[in-house]
Amino acid sequence: MKRICLWSSPRNISTALMYSFAQRSDTKVIDEPFYAHYLSKTNADHPGKEEILADMENDGEKVIENVILGDYNEDVIFMKQMTHHLIQINESFLDKVTNVFLIRDPKQLISSLAQVIPVVNMHATGIKRQHELFHRLSDDNNRPVVIDSGEILKNPESALTQLCYSLDIPFEKSMLKWEPGPIKEDGIWAKHWYENVHRSSGFEKQHTSSRDLPEELTELYKESLPLYKDLFNHSIKV
Residue 238 forms part of a structural domain:
no
The domain tally of the chain equals: 1
Entry pTM: 0.94
pLDDT digits (tens, 9 = 90+) for 11-59: 899 999 999 999 999 999 999 999 999 999 998 888 889 999 999 999 9
Q: Distance (Å, rounded) from C-alpha 175 to C-alpha 21?
A: 6
Residue 79 forms part of a structural domain:
yes
Q: What is the residue range of 25's domain? A: 2-233
Q: Distance (Å, rounded) from C-alpha 18 to C-alpha 151?
A: 16
We report the CATH number of the domain holding residue 88 as: 3.40.50.300
Give the type of residue at 174.
Answer: S
Check residue 169 and report its DSSP letter: S
- What is the predicted pLDDT for the residue at 206? 66
Residue 30 three-state SS: strand
pLDDT digits (tens, 9 = 90+) for 5-20: 999 988 899 999 999 9
Residue 32 forms part of a structural domain:
yes
1 has a pLDDT exceeding 90: yes
pLDDT digits (tens, 9 = 90+) for 110-154: 998 888 778 899 988 999 999 999 999 998 778 899 999 999 999
Instruction: Give the list of residues 6+ apart from residue 12 with CB closer than 8 angstroms, or none.
Output: 102, 103, 104, 109, 149
Cβ atoms of 90 and 64 closer than 8 Å: yes
